[in-house]
Every structure is written in structure tokens, then in C-alpha cells.
Chains A and B, each alone.
Chain A
Amino acid sequence: MEHHLVLRVIAKLLIPLILLFALYVQFHGEYGSGGGFQAGVIFASGFILYALIFGIETLRKVVPLGLLRIVSALGLLLYIGTGVAGMLLGGNFLDYNVLATDPVAGQHLGILLIELGVGITVAAVMLMMFYVFAKP
């Protein structure tokens, strides 16, 4: 992998942009197109590009599989936790109106949190699948 100089340089240029674009899609999903699912996939694809250029073992050192397992569960827990938080504050399950003093602000907060949960889970699961499918 030492001699692919062009690939390495271009990948190093592209990966931060891909990750930044994923975060943009994640947190701007309420205003433009996009959301947690798309952002998660784009975020994972940035890491996959890294693995394609620098080798899967390097990526395994950056993001270990055990960490991904925990993170993928954390995303789902964040989603359910948002729902339960609405329940604890006196609303129904997944009722965001009670999360803030203003119902509209509560909806914003709730949508932001669950989209974040979706994004985290999707990104972690996609990377996990790539890990087990890719040849070591």
C-alpha cells in the first residue's frame, strides 16, 4: 500500500470533507434534505474509504469492533431514551412537545435527538457489516 501516493493524498483530502458533509446532513436534515439514515451511511462511507486506501487492519486500530457494538446500541438507546424522557415529563412515549417549555422547541429538540440516535446506529452498523464482510 506504500506506492499508491495519489490515492493516499486524495483520500486524506476527501475523508474530512465526507465526514463534515455527513455531519451537515445530520444536523441540517430539518432544513434541507437528509437525516439520520443518510448521514449515518455517509459517515460510515468516509471510514470505509479510509479502510480501502490504508487497509482494514489500520481502520480496526482506529475504530475497534467492540467499540462499534457499544456505539450501535447507544444510538438505539438514545432514540428510546428520548421517547422515555417524554414519558417521564408527562407526555406519551415519543411525545416531544413536553421536552421544552415551548411545544415547537420541544419538537425541534426531540427530532434532533432521535435523528442523532438514528445516525449513530446506522453508521456503527454499516461499519460493523463492512468489518465482517471485508477480507482480513
Chain B
Amino acid sequence: MTGIFSLVSACLFVTMGAVDVAFTEAAVGAGIATLLFLCTLALTSSEESPAVRHSFIPFFVVFVTGAILIYGTIDIPEFGDASAPVHQHIAERFIQTSPVEIGIPNMVTSVLASYRGYDTLGEVTVVFTAGIGVLILLGRGRREKLVKHDSDSSA
């Protein structure tokens, strides 16, 4: 379902002229995400295992982070506000000066990689952190299980 949805929205992006976004949607949403979903379905069983322990500190950390994020949204201008900074001059300036300053035809890339370099650095860090998180959550448990199986079979 999500794969079909991603493919349809990718086609929608193409018709609206956002080829880069459509490309990402088709590759990530329709390709990798669907595959990971199927892998997860194959990995998990149909019944939920009982919770091992209730820990308070992770809940507290998540709650505080969420509260900070919601506090951050207070400063964001209202939805559809015509006087918001993003509607004032930034887009026009990028469109006018990007060919002169950066000199590459694909303006999406020049905004993404040069003007918004910090944002992209953050995105890459998020991807990297997500990879580490998955590795910590799933990788080690699997290895311990494998080691256990090995010792069981040898004993």
C-alpha cells in the first residue's frame, strides 16, 4: 500500500514539475521503504511479547525533547501568513543570483548543497545517526542470539 502511494505521489510530483522530489520519493518511498517494511514483517512474529521492564528515564527524555520542539514551533509564523520571511525575498533572490554565484543549471542542487549547506549537513547526520540507532537496537541482539545458538548447539 505505502509503496503504491509513494509511486502515485512521485508521479504527482513529476506533473507538478518537482523532478528532484519525485526522484527521491520513487527511490526511497517506493523502493527502500517498502522493502524494509517487508523485511520487518518477516522479522517479527504476529504476537507481541510482554514488556520486559518499564523505565522512566527514556520516557522523561522523550517528553522533554517533545516539549522543547513544541516550544520551538511558537516562533514559527502562522500557516499561510503572507508576511512570513519565506514569502518575502529569499526565493526570488535565489532564483536571480544562483546562476551567477553558483553557476550550475540545477537550482535545487545549488540551494540544497550551497545555500542550505548546514541543513543538508544536519540531514546527513540524521541519516547516519539513524543507521547507528538501528545497528544498536537490532544488530547486537541478533549477534548475541547467534552466539547463544552456537554455544547451545556445541554444548
Contacts and interface: CB of A to CB of B under 8 A. Distances in A.
Contacts of A124: 131
A76 B131 CA distance: 12
Contact of B124 (A34, A118, A128): A118
Contact of B105 (A30, A37, A83, A134): A30
Contacts of B125: 76
A125 B123 CA distance: 13
For chain B, what secondary structure do more than half of its interface residues adopt (helix, strand, loop), or is it mixed?
Answer: helix
A117 B146 CA distance: 34
Nearest to A76: B128
A22 B23 CA distance: 12
Interface string A62-105: 00010001001101100110010000000000101000000110
Contacts of A110: 113-114
B103 A111 contact: no
A94 B27 contact: no
Given A38-B23, A121-B128, A111 B102 contact: yes
A65 B135 CA distance: 10
B44 to A, nearest CB: 10
B84 interface: no
A34 B23 CA distance: 7
Contacts of A94: 117-118, 121
A35 B83 CA distance: 32
Contacts of B113: 35, 110-111, 114-115
A135 B123 CA distance: 28
Interface residues of B, number: 43
B48 interface: no
Given A33-B20, A135-B43, A83 B103 contact: no
Nearest to A31: B105
Contacts of B105: 30-31
Contacts of B138: 132-133
22 contacts: A29-B106, A30-B109, A34-B23, A35-B112, A41-B27, A45-B32, A72-B128, A72-B131, A76-B125, A83-B117, A96-B114, A104-B103, A107-B114, A111-B109, A114-B113, A114-B121, A125-B131, A126-B32, A128-B134, A132-B135, A132-B142, A133-B138
Interface of B: 19-20, 23-24, 27-28, 31-32, 35-36, 39-40, 42-43, 101-106, 108-110, 112-114, 117-118, 120-121, 123-125, 127-128, 130-131, 134-135, 138-139, 142, 146
